Structure 1
Amino acid sequence: MGTTLTSKGQVTIPKQVRDALDLAPGSEVEFAVNRDGDVVLLKAGKRRARRGDRFEAARGKAQVKWRSDELMALLRD
């Protein structure tokens, strides 16, 4: 699916995409650029919460009782 950019920077969102995202006139949308440089169109409010750090959700969750020096000794032996 392709579309043409107007001189004002506007594009028409193809009907298949509008239907898939349940977009109607007046709907708010968000644009994002993923790591591959692709532009992603999101219905406003449906976006996953972004974290400043991708490891933030895992930080502080470990149940390991090892100390760093003990773990390093185990890994190096």
Structure 2
Amino acid sequence: MEINIVSATVTSKGQVTIPATIRNTLKISPGDQIQFVEVTPGRFEMLVACNDVKSLKGMVKSNRHVSIKEINQAIKFRGRES
């Protein structure tokens, strides 16, 4: 497995320009939200939170329709398991 290392410089305002190769690979567009998740102490992963919930419509195919009541019951049931 080849490891690619890409560098960026932090400005005096704490800003970093994400290199074009990374923006293209992750399909980052202006206005997208970036999240930083600490996976181990001092080590972070960058996640792109750019998908609108509406874009998920139709992602799961099913012939079964679920009512709001059934959804709420499932949420209550899962909450009891925690």
Q: How does the TM-score come out when normalised to structure 2?
A: 0.49
Indicate the RMSD between aligned Cα atoms, in angstroms.
1.9
Q: Which ranges of 4 or more aligned residues in structure 1 deviate by more than 3 Å?
A: none
Specify every segment of 5 or more residues in structure 1 that has no aligned partner in the other structure, as ranges.
47-59, 61-77
**Residues 1:23 and 2:28 are matched in the alignment:** yes
Q: How does the TM-score come out when normalised to structure 1?
A: 0.51
- SS class of match (1:43): strand
Work out the percentage of aligned pairs sharing the same amino acid. Answer: 38
- SS class of match (2:28): coil
2:44 counterpart (32, 39, 43): 39
Higher strand share: 2
Deviation digits for residues 21-69 of structure 1 (CA, Å, limit 9, x no counterpart): 11011111111121152221101167xxxxxxxxxxxxx7xxxxxxxxx
Specify every segment of 5 or more residues in structure 2 that has no aligned partner in the other structure, as ranges.
1-5, 52-80
Q: Report the residue type matching 2:28 in the other structure.
A: L
Higher helix share: 2
How far is 1:12 from its partner? 0.6
Q: How far, CA to CA, are the matches of 1:14 and 1:33 in structure 2?
A: 21
